[in-house]
Amino acid sequence: MSDEFEMQSKAEILNRLKQDLTGTVTDIEGSFTFDTLIANAAEFECAYAEMNLLREAVFIQSSWGTALTDKCAEHGVIRKQATKATVVLTITGQAGAFIPKGSLFETETGMQFYTIDDVSMTSDTVKIRVEAGIAGTIGNVEANTINKIPMSIPNITAVNNEEPAYDGFDEETDDDLRERALLHVRTPGTSGNVMHYKEWALAVEGVGDVEIIPLWNGNGTVKIVIINADKQPASEELIENVENYIEENRPIGATVTVTTPEIVPVNINVKILGESFNEQKIKDNIAEYFGTLSFKTSEVSINRIGKAILDTADDIDYDADSLKINDGTENIPLTIEQIAVLGEVIISHD
């Protein structure tokens, strides 16, 4: 018998069952014996399939879902949960009005936000922080979209969010959790080494990637550069969360600084040959490419931007001489503390 587990099909199992028959019992198709054997073979095939899944579930590399969550937890790597978006609202009303904790505001589409503190208005407008009712990126609504007061609040007349909501992140994906677990197992963090700081920062909900710069300002100093789960610069709140978490775990004596990369806007000009193109798809593809750059490369490639444009459709093409990034044709260099963000995209066509 092989030491390697092998899936067994219904036909293979049926053949073995037939071989185990003794005497003169017939096993031709349609007989009572055949019907009994094939019913058992079908059930055994399902059992083999379940055994194969169990085998995959016990290894980090091939596990998934709850099984992967449990397997990673054995190593102390906990799946990051979804977080609720927050945003500052501008509330309009009468001075002296009281807005109790848990007051409800929402968008035209029904996305709900709740106040997280009691607030008394000292003038006819007040700024107040609210939290999305549902965790995940769904709560990251655009600016000027939270404008409804579904449940009347005495002496409150209007609401608006002048800035977009932020820091709503989905539950950590299987791939991201698996990557963190394998990082922990293969390059374990110990005694406050570089990998230890990286593990601590990556464990915080909302952190998408980390770069550690040891001794950046002399002995005993560590700089931690983080981006969020959307591969964008981290908010002040997320930076503070990472600072607090690392402060609870770091060795005594180290001076830790947590920052996020400086934004480098990349403006693009390009001439598309023909009129059959999807402008939003082009922007999305380029933005997706930018999302792969953080901490992974030292430049924005103009050729990769061209490829992102071509990948939007099978029949699309562009004038290579017309493609400019920040008014030039050279790649744009990036330091470890910079992140490329898509700026203005100007598309012309024949």
Q: Where are the domains of the chain?
A: 10-57, 86-160, 187-259, 263-349
Q: What is the CATH number that goes with domain 187-259?
A: 3.30.300
Least confident interval from 48-52, 135-139, 235-239: 48-52
pLDDT (mean) for 73-102: 96
Nearest residue to 198 via CA among 297, 189, 299, 286: 189
Model confidence pLDDT, tens digit, residues 169-188: 999 999 999 999 999 999 88
Strand pairing report for 255-259 and 221-228 = parallel
Q: Which residues contact 240 (CB under 8 A, 6 or more apart)?
A: none
CB 202 within 8 A of CB 179: no
More confident residue, 110 or 294: 110
Predicted local distance difference test score (pLDDT) of residue 242? 97
The residue among 262, 270, 263, 265 whose CA lies nearest residue 329 is: 270
CA distance 320 to 90: 47
Q: DSSP string of 47-86? A: HHHHHHHHHHHTSTTT--HHHHHHHHHHTT-PPPPPB--E
Angle at 214 between CA 212 and CA 215, to 5 degrees: 150
Q: How many CB atoms lie within 10 A of CB 345?
A: 16
Q: How many angstroms separate the CA atoms of 258 and 281, rounded?
A: 34
Amino acid (one-letter) located at 196: H
pLDDT in tens, 296-350: 778 999 999 999 999 998 889 999 999 999 999 999 999 989 999 999 999 998 7
Task: Please return the burial class of 238, using the count of CB atoms within 10 Å of its CB with bins 0-12, 13-18 and 19+.
Answer: buried
Handedness of CA 36, 37, 40, 42 (dihedral sign): negative
- DSSP secondary structure string for all residues of 241-262: HHHHHHHHHSPTT-EEEEE-PE
pLDDT at residue 1 in the model? 45
Report, as an integer, the average pLDDT of 272-298: 88
Task: Give the model's pLDDT for residue 25.
Answer: 59
Query: Which helix (H) or strand (E) covers residue 14, if one does?
Result: helix 10-19
Cα–Cα distance between 137 and 171 in angstroms, integer? 9
Whether the per-residue pLDDT at 214 is higher than 50: the answer is yes
Of the two residues 32 and 128, the one the predictor is more confident about is: 128
Residue 57 confidence class, pLDDT cut points 50, 70, 90: confident
Please tell me the least confidently modeled range out of 95-99, 236-240, 249-253, 335-339: 249-253
Phi/psi of residue 11, nearest 5 degrees:
-65, -40
Q: Give the mean pLDDT of the chain.
A: 90
Containing 234, the helix (H) or strand (E) segment is none
Q: How confident is the model at residue 26 (pLDDT cuts 50, 70, 90)?
A: low
Residue 104 has pLDDT above 90, yes or no: yes
- Is this model's pTM higher than 0.95 or not? no
Q: How confident is the model at residue 148 (pLDDT cuts 50, 70, 90)?
A: very high
Q: Which is nearest to 235 in space by CA: 331, 151, 163, 328? A: 163
- The two tokens of residue 145 are 């979209």
The tokens describing 244, both together, are 């607090």
